[in-house]
Amino acid sequence: MNTSLVNDTSRSSVVDGHGGRPLSVSGALVRRTLLRVRRMPAAFVPSIVMPVFQLIAFSGAFGAAVRLAGVKNAMDWYVPLNAVQGASFGAMGVSFGLINDMQTGFFDRLLMAPTKRWALIVGPMAGSIARAALPVALVIVIGFLGGMNVPGGPLAIFYVAVAATGIALVASAFALGLTYRMRNMGAATLTQFAIFFTIFLSTSQVPLSNMAGWLHAVARVNPMTNVLRLARQGLLGDITWNDTWGGLLAIAVMLFVSCWFALSGLKSLEK
């Protein structure tokens, strides 16, 4: 066989030495997420409506129970919960979007890009924060309209946002990891279940002191309890480091684990 010897890479002149810059790639993927939301708003509506509906339903139905536990206004208890839950809904969008990209083959285009693999994960994760911004803001606004107390001042809202952002990142990384492995719609359903159970098996409805038996045992070790404590502290009273560090640590640990889960899942695709 006649072998032609060539200087093979000389023609890739427009590609700089580093390929796609990871942060630019992540940024472009965030812009794509927002563009898709703008062009297909119907798919985005449930993630706005559900947290708002749940806030109204929970505070209306269970208000008496949390007031009995010493909470002044049911909104003080349920705004942080539904902000966090609303932020986690973005993960479903991440999962559905990824499955869609896998089925259309668009994901292959991303995989073939000469860029760091983590850029392909950070993009959708950051996109989930962008998706979460509106429902979280709406929940907070409705909280204020419903007479939510803010003894902790502006920092109280900041911590609600920190908790919501943290959970949006954790949930979307988890969704990516699961979707890379399962590669079908079942991943989105499982993600939803996992988030649902993690949130509800914490202090979602009442404080730890009001819980009985098994739920108390589970909620006490559930990291979501720490995250909700972080988010709620400024609405229930003063902000203290004691109520802060546990939530920040819980987010950091969950983020580390879920990012590893996502990255290893992405790498497994090329095996």
Partner 1 sequence: MTAATVATNHVAPPRSFTTAVHHTLRLTQRSVLGRLRQPAALAPSFIFPLFFAALGSASFQRMSKLPDFPASSFLNYTAAGAIVQGVLFAATSSAGDLATDIEQGFFERLLVSPVTRTAIVIGRLGSAMVVAISQVFVFLGIFLAFGARIETGVVGFIGLTVSGALLALAMSGLMSGIAIRSGSPEVVQGSFPMVFALLFLSSSFFPRQYMTGWYKTVASWNPMSHVVEGMQGFMNQPLDVDQFLRAWLIPLGIATISIMFGLRALSNRLAAQ
Partner 2 sequence: MTSAPIIAHGLVRHFGSGDNTVRAVDGVDLQVNQGEIFGFLGPNGAGKSTTVRVLTTLLKPSAGSATVAGFDVATQADQVRRSIGVALQDAAIDPLMTGRELLDLQSVLYGIPKTRARERGEELLERVGLTAAADRRVGTYSGGMRRRLDLALSLVHEPSVLFLDEPTTGLDPMSRLTLWEEVRRLNREGTTVLLTTQYLEEADQLADRIAIIDHGKIVREGVPRDLKSAVGAPTLLIDVDSTHAESARSVLARFGDLRPTSEGTLGVGLAQGAEAVASVIRSLDEAGVHVRHLELNEPSLDDVFAEATGYRLEGAETKSDAPAAGARRGPR
Q: Which residues in this chain contact partner 1 in the complex, by CB under 8 A? A: 46, 49-50, 53, 56-57, 60-65, 68, 197, 200-201, 205-206, 210-216
The dihedral over CA atoms of 91, 94, 95, 96, expressed in degrees to the nearest 10, equals 120
Angle at 216 between CA 211 and CA 218, to 5 degrees: 145
In contact, 234 and 159? CB cutoff 8 Å: yes
Give 120 or 229: the residue with its C-beta nearer to partner 1. Answer: 229
Residue 39 within binding range of partner 2, rule CB under 8 A: yes
CA distance 196 to 140: 21
Residue 35, contacted partner among partner 2, partner 1, none, CB below 5-8 A by kind: partner 2
Query: Within positions 166 to 185, which residues make up the interface with partner 2, using CB under 8 A?
Result: 183-184
Residue 36 within binding range of partner 2, rule CB under 8 A: yes
Closest CA to 192 of 1, 69, 38, 46: 46
* CA 135 from centre of chain: 12
Give 14 or 212: the residue with its C-beta nearer to partner 2. Answer: 14
Residue 34 in 3-state DSSP?
helix
Report the run of H or E that residue 4 belongs to, with start and end. Answer: none
Query: Within positions 115 to 144, which residues make up the interface with partner 2, using CB under 8 A?
Result: 115
Residue 212, contacted partner among partner 2, partner 1, none, CB below 5-8 A by kind: partner 1
* Least Cβ distance, residue 223 to partner 2 (angstroms): 32
Reading the block at residue 10, the tokens are 């000389």
Residue 104 within binding range of partner 2, rule CB under 8 A: yes
Judged by the rule CB under 8 A, the positions of this chain that interact with partner 2 are 1-16, 18-21, 24-25, 27-28, 32, 35-36, 39-40, 99, 101-115, 183-184, 269-271
